Amino acid sequence: MNLKKLFKNNIFMLVLSIAFMIAFCIIAFVYNVKAGILSSILFVCYIVYVLIYSYFSSGEIKNNLAGKSLASHTFDFISDMNVPVLLGDSKGAVSWYNNAFRELFSESSFKIGDSGKSISEEIDINMFETARGNSAANGSLLSQKGGRHYRIYPYYIETMRKNFWLAVWIDCTDHEELIKEHAESNLLVAYAAVDNINELSSGIQQDRYREISAKIYNVLNEWVNSMHGIIKEYERDKYLIFFEDRYINQQIESKFDILDKINDLSADTDGVPLTVSIGIARLYGGGLDEKEEAAKNSLQLALQRGGAQVVVKNRSDNDFYGGRTKTIQKRTKIKSRVVANQLVSLISKASDILIMGHANPDFDAVASCVGIARLSISLGKNVKIVEDLDNQNFLICRDKLSALKEYDDLFVDKVYGQELLKPDTLVVIADVSNPGIFESPEIYRNAEHIVVIDHHRQIQEFTKNHDITYIEPTASSASELVAEMLEIVLPLNCLAKEEAELMLAGILLDTQNFTRNVGIRTFSAAMYLRGEGANTSNAQALFKYQLGEFKKIAEFERNIFIFRKIFAITQYENDNDPENRVTAAQVAERMLMIDGIHASFTVSKAENAIHISARSDGSVNVSLILEKIGGGGHFDSAGARINGTNMKQTMSMLREAIVNYCDNN
């Protein structure tokens, strides 16, 4: 009912009431004068009340009329303001928009009254629902139109009949461009180093080396100049680089083709491949000192992953690029000598020594631990090796060492090892650098003094500091690294024959009897062990198959299929035996003997998880493939443990990782 109709109805009721009261007073006077006088007094009071009520009612009506006038003026103001405003219902129908909104958006994209999930192609009603009731999100919705940026402020309006969204577009182009410019002008710090520089300088004449070094610098300098950056050589063939963030996305899209440009110079080095490693700190905020430290750590991580790659350190994680070139065996033992002396110093200062390898140990893990134990014993320290005392490989190694009294009570499980840990205990970890597969992650987390010795590619940054981190992916095995150090710091004939044969078995395992990933230093380590009494036949005897293993190998090989012509894949899920991991690794080696196969993968169930063993002939980086699904390892030897999946899902993940690797390489 409108105001005019209401007013007319009130006048009618007023007249009717007055007529009724007059008639009542006349009737009262006819029958009783006193009653008539009383009725007349009541009539007068009623008239006064009506007048007072009418006065105040007329004021309220005036106010309502004034309010209506104000609403009308407000509506006109919103219609003409230069800020786009849209009114739509909760179903996505457009109810109204102002002139500025009409100019911003094409009317052909929507009509008033149309309904749907999207008011237009640019405006999704669901984004308003996301911001509803969240004050932090209010105004955080961004839209681009006509080359301008708009921040959207949605307001929810509830009525008796229908609910609406009132959305206001505020032009924030200048603010967004300022934010973008600030991010793009962020200064990045990078370190670059030429890999295997010692091998390069020792293999050619000095004049020739200077010429090659100058070519490397020219290529790097041209690369940095293209980004309007600065490059300075702070040490021979090591460079400090500065450039802005605006250029790094282009490098990421090209997968840092600077790596390939450097490698193309190898034609001038008489067959010695030229590679470079780069560590970049892409951090927002913080000082130059923090960025410089992050860049240095990134370069170290790139080198520990095998070199020939770029590691970009973000605020939360690392991104890896390159790593497609197989690492070259190093000839010099300078780093090994430095690490050996540092290790002797740390062992001498420690109260006692705890040594461990990776879970489900192989011969190389146990043998390298035994080598460190012999060094500790020679320095007069109390030492224990933490191992899985029920593991079949460990039992074979313990039987091999049974003739040595020092090993009667030297092996302990991880529970007892945790009890032995003290603040001044030195924990030495061999043949593994991934904390997730340490024999005892708890000991690692609680230890204060840690040494890591490994030959696998490092997958991620460590979350705590180590006294020594010696990760050398160019080495064939951890036994090779330990043997090199023992040769430097131990007197001759200090290593027992059984220990030497066990370490030789570790080298034989990871080199597949000196046929894969072998360098001059590998044979040098083997010669040292042979001089300490190791017999090759006795070391080889540790690899003999049990009858059950031989049958499993046959089952593995029966399930082989070829993927993308160069990858051989097989699976085994007949049982959940922990020893399936060892058998799978052996089968992966055998599968490389198939003509045309460059990489092999075995997938097996073991200990309520799915395990993958991968091997390569050196042309495929199997570590990069398995890193995609949580694994890692060496360029041509890697593994992964997958939890919470079945065989079918794991096979699908593996094929997807292989396809991804092929597409990117």
Question: Exposure of 604 by Cβ count < 10 A (0-12 exposed, 13-18 middle, 19+ buried)?
Answer: buried
Q: How confident is the prediction for the chain on average, in pLDDT?
A: 83
Residue pLDDT, tens place only, 149-177: 888 888 777 776 777 778 888 888 888 88
For the domain 185-322, what is the CATH superfamily, name and number?
Answer: Reverse transcriptase/Diguanylate cyclase domain (3.30.70.270)
Hey, how many other C-beta atoms are within 10 angstroms of the C-beta on 258? 22
Nearest to 605 by CA among 657, 545, 648: 648
Residue ranges covered by each domain of the chain: 3-80, 85-175, 185-322, 334-543, 547-664
Structural contact between residues 484 and 375, judged by C-beta atoms closer than 8 angstroms: no
Residue pLDDT, tens place only, 221-265: 999 999 999 999 998 889 999 999 999 999 988 889 898 888 888
Nearest to 368 by CA among 440, 444, 470: 470
**Nearest-10 crossing angle of helices 478-489, 520-531:** 60
Hey, how many other C-beta atoms are within 10 angstroms of the C-beta on 73? 10
Nearest to 504 by CA among 516, 519, 522, 490: 522
Helix or strand or coil: residue 38? Answer: helix
Residue with tokens 């109260």: 351
CA 424 to chain centre: 33
The structure tokens listed for 235 are: 């040490």
Q: What is the pLDDT of residue 55?
A: 57
Q: pLDDT band for 11, please (50, 70, 90 cuts).
A: low
Residue with tokens 């597409």: 663
Geometric angle at alpha carbon 619, from 615 and 625, rounded to 5°: 55
For residue 191, the cross-strand partners are 240, 279
Mean pLDDT of 499-512: 92
Residue with tokens 């750590």: 297
Q: pLDDT band for 70, please (50, 70, 90 cuts).
A: low
Q: What is the pLDDT of residue 191?
A: 96
pTM above 0.85, yes or no: no
Nearest to 409 by CA among 441, 379, 377, 440: 377
Q: What is the pLDDT of residue 85?
A: 84
d(CA 233, CA 220): 11
The structure tokens listed for 296 are: 């240095």
Considering the chain, what percentage of its residues have pLDDT values greater than 90?
A: 41
Longest dimension (CA), the chain: 148
83-97, 582-596, 624-638: lowest mean pLDDT where?
A: 83-97
The CATH fold of domain 85-175: Beta-Lactamase (3.30.450)
107 Cβ partners below 8 Å, 6+ apart?
Answer: none
For 270, what's the count of Cα atoms within 13 Å in the CB-facing half-sphere? Answer: 9
The second-level CATH assignment, the architecture, of 547-664 is Roll (3.10)
Amino acid at 165: W
Q: pLDDT band for 147, please (50, 70, 90 cuts).
A: confident
Q: What is the pLDDT of residue 67?
A: 52
CATH number for the region 334-543 comes to 3.90.1640.10
Geometric angle at alpha carbon 570, from 564 and 574, rounded to 5°: 155
The structure tokens listed for 26 are: 């006349």
Q: What is the pLDDT of residue 588?
A: 92
Q: What letters, b where the CB count within 10 A reaches 16 and e where it falls short, cover 191-200?
A: bbbbbbbebb
d(CA 580, CA 590): 15
d(CA 616, CA 598): 6
Amino acid at 114: D
Q: What are phi and psi of 454, to 5 degrees?
A: -155, 160
Q: Which of 89-98, 294-303, 543-552 has the highest mean pLDDT?
A: 294-303
Does 100 score more than 80 pLDDT? Answer: yes
Higher per-residue confidence, 140 vs 565: 565
309, containing H or E segment: strand 309-313
Question: Exposure of 243 by Cβ count < 10 A (0-12 exposed, 13-18 middle, 19+ buried)?
Answer: buried
Q: What are phi and psi of 98, to 5 degrees?
A: -90, 180
Amino acid at 550: F
Nearest to 229 by CA among 221, 239, 217, 219: 221
Higher per-residue confidence, 144 vs 295: 295
Higher per-residue confidence, 311 vs 38: 311
d(CA 229, CA 243): 4
Residue pLDDT, tens place only, 312-349: 998 878 888 887 665 555 556 778 888 999 999 999 99
Q: pLDDT band for 267, please (50, 70, 90 cuts).
A: low
* Number of helices followed by number of strands (H, E) in the chain: 23, 23
Q: What letters, b where the CB count within 10 A reaches 16 and e where it falls short, cover 521-534?
A: bbbbbbebbbebeb
d(CA 658, CA 31): 114
